[in-house]
Amino acid sequence: MPITQGAAANTTSGSAAEILLELVDEDGNTIGTAEKLAAHQAPGQLHRAFSVFLFDERGRLLIQRRALGKYHSPGVWSNTCCGHPYPGESPFAAAARRTYEELGVSPSLLAEAGTVRYNHPDPESGLVEQEFNHLFVGMVQSPVDPDPEEIAETAFVTADELAVRHDQAPFSSWFMTVLQAARPAIEELTGPAANW
């Protein structure tokens, strides 16, 4: 996968450098940048993010359990992919890039599904998700090959199976917020029979 101009600005000679996020105002307009961890420390700085929901041809949602080594919300279940665009990178490009980086697969379809703004503290880490989140829905038709440093486990679930799993296992603090916000686009994508 090619490195975007924004991604190139966040690496130095092939080694990891400071990761910058795009700070935004309440309308989603860019107002500056902040280092990733600093932006998530309480009370949090409002920054641009994205969330991806990919479905198979049977209308099942691909969810992931975050790797135990993640600094934020390790070991919890969440949507297909989520993250942050680099400064100057479009949310769509970032969503496609991170889906490939984390899951080893490119969506066969990816469409914008609106935005949602939220403020979710994570009681375990003390970090705060203060995000202006761009939502995307789409299809995946190839087998996934998750990066173990990012993802501990994946599963395809129906709406009913997700409800049971959500009652029994820990999920990310933002999961239900982004799912609810994306639901109209999910229903349009999967059709009434999928019952999303």
Active site residues: 82, 131
Secondary structure class of 124 (helix, strand, coil): coil
Cα gap 65→171, rounded to integer Å: 8
- Counting other chains too, the contacts that 162-165 makes at CB distance below 8 Å and 24 or more residues apart are 162/61, 162/63, 165/63, 165/77
Cα gap 155→60, rounded to integer Å: 9
Note whether 100 and 184 are within 8 A (CB): no
